[in-house]
Structure formats: structure tokens, C-alpha cells
Structure 1
Amino acid sequence: MSAWRRSSIQEMEKMISLDYQAREITGGKIVDYGFEESMKGWREAFTYVKSHAVEWKVEKVAVIPLREEEKMAVLWATMLVDGEQLSNANLFFDTFKKQGDGWKLIRNYTEAGVPVRKMEALAFSADYS
């Protein structure tokens, strides 16, 4: 999250696996993409943030152990433009795998354009009935 908040493309590139697979849902439209498309998107976003009065707001919701040496981070993010928070955010389900001495982002599922008020009220329930 710190690489994201700093808009560091170098750190982000080191964190994402070359075998990365992702799916994003925006307005009901499904888009699947990999490492190269992801890096292109991050470059564009980070360039925008650095050239405008914009900062990231990134909030961790949960970290869920999935398998041995594999975890899922649930988080949401939006932008602050001239100090004002946008009304929509993206909800991320990021799967990380231990590779060597670090963790790599290997998979992602994103719901884009979710109202921030829904994200701010987000809580995981232990009730599975």
C-alpha cells in the first residue's frame, strides 16, 4: 500500500508477478488483463496523480490466509482531488504469494465505481448461515 500511496511505479513493478492475472468489473463490463496491461494502467494513474493536486486514499479491510504462503488482501481505494474525496472507489481482492524472500501480487479481482459510503461502512461478517 505504501508504493501505491507514493505513486511509485518502480516499487509497484517489483511487487507484481510477471504471471499476474486480473479481472475488473466496471459498470457491469468485465475486462481481463495481465502484467503488461496492469503496468500501463498504473503508469497512467501515477502520472495523473503526480501532475495534479491528487492523492490516494487506500484502506485495508482484511487480510485472509488462503493457502500455505498465499494470502488475500481486501482493500479499497479512491482519490482526494484538491483535498476533496471522490464519491466512488474501487474494491480490490488481491492475492499475494510468497516467492523467494518476498511477496508477489499474483491475482486481482476489482469492482470499480463503488460508492465510497458503501466502502466506509464495509465490514466482514463471521455469520455464514
Structure 2
Amino acid sequence: MDNQFRVALDAFLRAWENSSLIELETFISADYQAREVRDEEIEAFGYEESVEGWKHGFAYVKEQQAEWAIREMSVIPLKEDERMAILYATIVLDGKPMETGNMFFNTFKKREEGWKLVRSYIETGVRVRGTDLKMGL
């Protein structure tokens, strides 16, 4: 994996773990497109809806005095200037991860201003048994 992408992905993950909308927003491309599957319903959305979703998620984590548990499952080179990061994320409340989380298939593209999140496919409500996925807790 190219070092510039690794640095960018690590910064993206830190912004997420810190619930920093200001930092995370710098990684989302203005032409971002996503699909999310929630309870068998598929929703398509773009940049504005994404930022609003992150805002609500981050507010919830802060209000609950919780934290994020994010696991990098894989990084796959798609093209010379594109990488897909497959991530599993859940929220940890009172020291215990929630029973479900979300799988993110995030595609980043190298642009003049750096690596930007351009596409996502998100599966919500993914149930993972405790020993199936080490969350680093």
C-alpha cells in the first residue's frame, strides 16, 4: 500500500475515532456518492446527507460518553489512484461494544488536494460475535 494513502487513511480513522466532523469532512469529496442498506431498504445519498449523518452519529457518541471501535478489515488497490478500505465500526457503551455495527466499503481516490472519499457502500446492522472480530478493546 502506498505510504501517502496509509497516512491519509490513518488520519481519516483518527478523525472518526475522535468524532471530529471538521477533520472528517476534509476527507469527503464534494461529489461523494453512497448506498446504504438498512433493514433491507436501500438509500442513495451524497455529500450533504453524509455530513449530516456523521454529525448525528458523532453527537450520539459524545452524548452517550461512548467511543468508536473501528476495525480495518482490508485495503484493496482498485486502480493506481483508487483504494477501497473495508471497515467494520461499532459503538462501545460502558466498555461493551454494541451487538451490531456497520460494514463500510469506502473507495478513496487520489486528487490534487490528497486522498478523498468518493464512494461508499454501507451495510448496517451487521452482527459480529465477540470472538469473530477482535476490536482491540
Q: Deviations over 1:42-86 (max 9, x none)?
A: 001111111222100000011000012100000100000111110
The residue matched to 2:26 in structure 1 has which SS?
helix
Find the counterpart in structure 2 of residue 79 from structure 1.
Answer: 91
RMSD: 1.7
Find the counterpart in structure 1 of residue 43 from structure 2.
Answer: 31
Counterparts of 2:131 and 2:45 in 1: how far apart (Å)? 24
5+ long unaligned stretches in structure 1: 123-129
Deviation at 1:120, TM superposition (A): 3.1
What TM-score, normalized to structure 1?
A: 0.89
Contact 1:72–1:96 (CA<8 Å) still a contact in 2? Answer: yes
Find the counterpart in structure 2 of residue 11 from structure 1.
Answer: 23
The residue matched to 2:129 in structure 1 has which SS?
helix
Find the counterpart in structure 2 of residue 90 from structure 1.
Answer: 102
Change in Cα spacing, 1:68 to 1:118, as seen in structure 2 (3 Å) is: farther
User: What is the correspondence of 1:38-77 to structure 2 with a 5 Å cutoff?
Assistant: 38-77=50-89
Q: Which amino acid aligns with 1:39?
A: V
Counterparts of 2:36 and 2:123 in 1: how far apart (Å)? 6
What TM-score, normalized to structure 2?
A: 0.84
* Alignment length (residue pairs): 122
